[in-house]
Amino acid sequence: MKKNLALFISFVSFASSQQSFGKNLPDSYLLDMESHGIEEMSTFDAPGATGYLMLDPAGQLFTAYALENSNSVVVGTMYDAEGNDLSSREINDLSLEKLESSDLWFSRGNPDAPYIYIVDDPMCGYCHKQYEALKNVVDEGRLQIRHLIVGVLGDRSERAANIILQSADPAAAFEEHHARFEEGGVEGSAPNYRQKQQIELHNQLMYELGVSGTPAIFYQDLDGKSHKIGGFTDDVTSILLRLGIE
């Protein structure tokens, strides 16, 4: 294999419709892709291949590559010669674009401060730990957090998400919930049909971001590079440095 080519994992045997996919994908894959409900989100250049960012029926993003001068298509992670993960870069860039264009989040902290996005479930213990790890820097006005609240951990989670999202001040309701987290948090309310649909929109966006568990953090650093952190992190310093926060 040429030095500048990636490490490819797992071969793909499905493709999508000719209307939605680029000409570099072999015709033999197109009908199979369509039958699996795969959608093309975007294309990008990759070493020795054309990259495709795809969305499966469950809302999960993944990358596939049509190799140059070959009828082979592979799916998985590609690294360039410098060890950069090209697949994650494309997925994280699209995830941040989705968050930036969404109106489903609310913000806490100084609106003029650098910001990160966090996908939160109100009843998630690790989300509470993340709240505590970032609380001081938010309270000091150095960081803004944009929260995408989901309700994926059962009835209590959905009820708590509902009371936060329906509040006149979701950020204040969020703060109150975490201040009382050890006692069970705020008393939630059962969502009506419209409210339940709203929570489902939040949950769906979570899955479209490729998030399978909470918390998840997304942000863009000073160099324009997109980052995703899946799960709790206590390495707040690295995030702040990448955002230029002293």
> Mind spelling out the 3-state secondary structure of the chain?
CCCCCCCCCCECCCCCCCCCCCCCCCHHHHHHHHHCCCEEEEEEEECCEEEEEEECCCCCEEEEEEECCCCCEEECCCECCCCCEHHHHHHHHHHHHHHHHCCCCEEECCCCCCEEEEEECCCCHHHHHHHHHHHHHHHCCCCEEEEEECCCCCHHHHHHHHHHHCCCCHHHHHHHHHHCHHHCCCCCCCCCHHHHHHHHHHHHHHHHCCCCCCCEEEEECCCCCEEEEECCCCCHHHHHHHCCCC
User: Is a pLDDT exceeding 60 seen at residue 153?
Assistant: yes
Which pLDDT value is given to residue 27? Answer: 67
User: Is a pLDDT exceeding 50 seen at residue 17?
Assistant: no
pLDDT confidence tier of residue 75, bands split at 50, 70 and 90: confident
Of 40, 58, 87, which residue constitutes the final position of a domain? 87
pLDDT confidence tier of residue 7, bands split at 50, 70 and 90: very low
Q: What is the mean pLDDT of residues 126-144?
A: 97
CATH of the domain at 67: 3.10.450.70
Q: Comparing 30-39, 92-101, 117-126, 168-177, which segment has the lowest mean pLDDT?
A: 30-39
Q: Is residue 8 part of a domain?
A: no
How many domains in the chain? Answer: 2
User: Is a pLDDT exceeding 80 seen at residue 71?
Assistant: no
The residues pairing with 108 across neighbouring beta strands, listed in sequence order, are 145
Place of tokens 């894959």: 29
Same domain? 70 vs 107? no
Contact 95, 226 (CB under 8 A): yes
Average pLDDT, the chain: 86
Which pLDDT value is given to residue 25? Answer: 67
What range defines the domain where residue 56 resides?
27-87
CATH of the domain at 153: 3.40.30.10
Same domain? 81 vs 110? no
Of 57, 87, 117, which residue constitutes the final position of a domain? 87
Q: What is the mean pLDDT of residues 200-228?
A: 93
Same domain? 111 vs 76? no
Q: What is the mean pLDDT of residues 84-95?
A: 87
User: Is a pLDDT exceeding 90 seen at residue 156?
Assistant: yes
Same domain? 231 vs 158? yes
Q: pTM above 0.75?
A: yes
pLDDT confidence tier of residue 51, bands split at 50, 70 and 90: confident
Cα–Cα distance for residue pair 162/122, rounded to 1 Å: 10
Same domain? 156 vs 231? yes
User: Is a pLDDT exceeding 80 seen at residue 26?
Assistant: no
Q: Is residue 137 part of a domain?
A: yes
Q: What is the mean pLDDT of residues 5-22?
A: 38
- Other C-beta atoms closer than 10 Å to the C-beta of 165 total 20
Of the candidates 119, 130, 89, the one whose C-alpha atom is nearest the C-alpha of residue 204 is 119
Which pLDDT value is given to residue 36? Answer: 83
User: Is a pLDDT exceeding 80 seen at residue 11?
Assistant: no
Which pLDDT value is given to residue 24? Answer: 64
Which pLDDT value is given to residue 21? Answer: 46
Q: What is the pLDDT of residues 190-206, one digit of tens each?
A: 999 999 999 999 999 99
Which pLDDT value is given to residue 220? Answer: 96
Cα–Cα distance for residue pair 88/96, rounded to 1 Å: 12
Q: Comparing 17-26, 36-45, 164-173, which segment has the lowest mean pLDDT?
A: 17-26
Same domain? 65 vs 148? no
Same domain? 158 vs 125? yes
Same domain? 59 vs 180? no
Same domain? 227 vs 108? yes
pLDDT confidence tier of residue 212, bands split at 50, 70 and 90: confident
What lies within 8 Å, CB to CB, of 46 at 6+ separation is 6, 65, 78, 86
Q: Is residue 19 part of a domain?
A: no
Q: Is residue 126 part of a domain?
A: yes
Which pLDDT value is given to residue 81? Answer: 83
